[in-house]
Structure 1
Amino acid sequence: MTNDLHRIVSAIAPDPGPGLVPGARELMNAIMDTEPAAAPAPVRRRRLSWRIALPAAPVIVATVTVLGWTTGLPGFGPRPVAALDIKQEDGYYVVQVKDVYADPENYEAQLRAVGLDVSLRVIPATPGLVGRILATDGQEVVDQIKTIDRPGPCDKVGGCPIGLKIPVGYAGSAYISLGREARPGESFQSGTSISALGEPLHCVPHLNKTVAEVRALLKERGIAIRGFYVADPRRGSGGEETSSVPDSWYVQGGYLDMPGKATIFAFSAPMPADHVENVRKAEGCPNL
């Protein structure tokens, strides 16, 4: 029996069409695997992928701020700002994202103008990962590219960033993907457990609740169940995708796959109580 039903795989391509996300079978198989969570494999340059981060061991290593638009002159509406704001301070370039919908080429042009071989892509992410980025070119990038977190309380996985710091004269290359809010109907490309910090069911008792009970909890938060993945937690692998299960079945977890839509893991029998306790501790919650 697995000790950690919430360990999520790090690469699943989302399906923008109807139905469940392709690869959910691999997702549940990995969740039910008894091996400890491994660090996700680096994503090569120019590759985007679904990434689900375990709250107890975040894989995100760098973050930037999403600021959007500035106010224009009266009567003329908002005016667009530069895609990035880059300032030089104390031997670092401090980078903030101003336009999350700009073409990647615009980001790269500004970064290369100050001598940085850094590629930046902004992708839709679940609420707990909005504003965070993943540096994907190895340990050198992790060691040299730093982040700045805002002071005070934080309700996001791995920190609440206000900027990204890159050394002046940095001679390496880096590919960085940044999480942003998804538009309505847009599938998430970066995500985490539905109960992770910053996600809709964080510290909300839902594991081993019935599907009917969890459906009501999600509805209160404006979320509908898009589909289910059914697997016996006593088995090491296997399962199936389905659009419905009995309301009396028990919830084992889940994730958001687009704004207002969730996929739920469910089975006809509840999970062991010690597993629920392990999840509670991993997510820093007093009770689940």
Structure 2
Amino acid sequence: MTNDLHHIVSAIAPDPGPGLVPGARDLMNAIMDTEPTPTLAPARRRRRLSWRIALPAAAVIVATVTVLGWTTGLPGFGPRPVAALDIKQEDGYYVVQVKDIYADPENYEAQLRAVGLDLSLRVIPATPGLVGHVLATNGKKVDDRIKTIDQSGPCDKMGGCPIGLKVPVGYAGSAYITLGREAKPGESFQSTTSISALGEPLHCVPHLNKTVAEVRALLKERGIAIEGFTVADPRRALDFKQASSVPDSWYVQGGSLTMPGKATIGVFSSPMPADLVENVRKADGCPGM
């Protein structure tokens, strides 16, 4: 998307989190398919219960999980903790998948450091198109040596549908990784993108330069209410103000989700220039708006 478009999006919804990048319930289900496997030590030694720890494969991992808690262990051993990450070693890489998207960051980091990785991992609520993706943290790019594992088949997310991360065995660097996850009801998104982006509710739905009344109806069909407006001249997107209400006859120039079921819409008293509408259409990969 062009710089003009980024300015429009930022005016419509000032960035609430670590930044925007091009990535899930299906992913979560896929990740949660693998359960930890307990093993027993040799008979001559004291029997101890061990479990496989899943390690975060780093670049664009999906945030997916089972609730961190306690499960029943082997007879006589009592309950055992469920790992927040699933970490295994394959072909010279640590392959990492998130098993508990609500775990404390310290739990992730303890498991990572247990296998020698100096990685900081955060999982934050993100809009649908960014769920499962590695998000930019303070504008810093993730180390290229940290790879992503994408799911096979069709994908309706920005930049792909990752299900895990791969980190080279012996990786001596450090990295700060932020992953997007689904938000709970009533939870504000910490990372968001345009409401027309791939995976978002108005992707390829004609809405630019439609009236507020028309777009309100489109959103209502999708279970979304407008909670506020950003008023900005589309040619001067950085000069904007917030409003709780505007005339229904004003024109929509974009927007973003703020939490599940709620959105902020960008508006102005006159329509957007045709060239900007065309740029948004092309950036979203849509045939027309």
State the TM-score, normalizing by the size of structure 1: 0.77
Secondary structure of the residue aligned to 2:172 is: coil
Secondary structure of the residue aligned to 2:167 is: strand
Residue equivalent to 1:17 = none
Residue equivalent to 1:258 = 259
Residue 199 in structure 1 maps to residue 200 in structure 2: yes
Residues in 2 aligned to 1:144 and 1:124: alpha-carbon distance in whole angstroms:
26
Secondary structure of the residue aligned to 1:7 is: helix
Residue equivalent to 1:225 = 226
State the TM-score, normalizing by the size of structure 2: 0.77
Q: For residues 133-282 of structure 1, what are the structure 2 equivalents within 5 Å?
A: 133-134=134-135, 136=137, 138=140, 141-235=142-236, 237-282=238-283
Post-superposition shift, 1:98? 0.4
Larger-Rg structure? 2
Residues in 2 aligned to 1:195 and 1:30: alpha-carbon distance in whole angstroms:
13
Post-superposition shift, 1:282? 1.0
Contact 1:206-1:214 within 8 A present in 2 as well: yes
User: In angstroms, what is the RMSD of aligned CA positions?
Assistant: 2.8
Mark the runs of 5 or more structure 1 residues left unpaired by the alignment.
10-23, 32-39, 41-47, 56-60, 74-78
State the AA in 1 paired with 2:210: K
Secondary structure of the residue aligned to 2:265 is: strand
Residue 68 in structure 1 maps to residue 71 in structure 2: no
Mark the runs of 5 or more structure 2 residues left unpaired by the alignment.
24-57, 73-79
Residue equivalent to 1:51 = 19
Post-superposition shift, 1:53? 4.0
Contact 1:228-1:241 within 8 A present in 2 as well: yes
The size of the alignment, in residue pairs, is: 243
Residues in 2 aligned to 1:223 and 1:29: alpha-carbon distance in whole angstroms:
16
Contact 1:4-1:275 within 8 A present in 2 as well: no
Post-superposition shift, 1:5? 4.8
State the AA in 2 paired with 1:6: L
Post-superposition shift, 1:232? 1.7
Residues in 1 aligned to 2:12 and 2:156: alpha-carbon distance in whole angstroms:
29
C-alpha deviations, 1:23-75, integer Å up to 9, x for none?
x9xx32999xxxxxxxx9xxxxxxx93423479xxxxx9211333239x89xx
Secondary structure of the residue aligned to 1:109 is: helix
Contact 1:134-1:176 within 8 A present in 2 as well: yes
Residues in 2 aligned to 1:135 and 1:246: alpha-carbon distance in whole angstroms:
36
Contact 2:157-2:198 within 8 A present in 1 as well: yes
Residue equivalent to 2:52 = none
Secondary structure of the residue aligned to 2:100 is: coil
Residue equivalent to 1:115 = 116
